[in-house]
């Protein structure tokens, strides 16, 4: 349960970055929860496995968050 609670704090970081950096834009394509939230969860899971259950530092998490959110809002491919 503790791991779940600690992992959820990254959601606040994701939404805060999204509002701060991209709050004025709507995405052209895609589903944010799938392409950003779910993708981050997958990467978090891999990190936990490779690092013996240790969560990433805030700096590591922020790099991934920025990459996922920025990629989501700047993609050019059309469905």
Band of pLDDT at residue 27, cut at 50, 70 and 90: low
Report the pLDDT value the prediction gives residue 36, as an integer from 0 to 100. Answer: 94
| Radius of gyration over every alpha carbon of the chain, rounded to an integer in angstroms | 13
Q: Between the CA atoms of 31, 37, 42 and 47, what dihedral angle is there, to the nearest 10 degrees? A: 150
Report the pLDDT value the prediction gives residue 79, as an integer from 0 to 100. Answer: 54
Q: Residue 25 in 3-state DSSP?
A: coil
Residue 47's H or E segment, with its range, is helix 39-50
Q: Where are the domains of the chain?
A: 2-74
Beta-carbon contacts of 37 under 8 Å, excluding residues fewer than 6 positions away, are 11, 14
pLDDT digits (tens, 9 = 90+) for 42-79: 999 999 999 999 999 999 999 999 999 999 988 776 55
16/13 Cα distance (integer angstroms) = 5
């Amino acid at each position: 349960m503790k791991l779940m609670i600690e992992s959820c704090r990254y959601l606040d970081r994701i939404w805060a970055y999204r509002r701060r950096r991209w709050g004025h834009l709507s995405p052209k394509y895609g589903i944010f929860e799938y392409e950003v939230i779910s993708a981050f969860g997958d990467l978090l899971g891999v990190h936990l496995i490779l690092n013996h259950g240790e969560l990433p530092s805030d700096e590591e998490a922020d790099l991934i968050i920025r990459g996922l959110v920025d990629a989501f809002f700047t993609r050019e491919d059309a469905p």
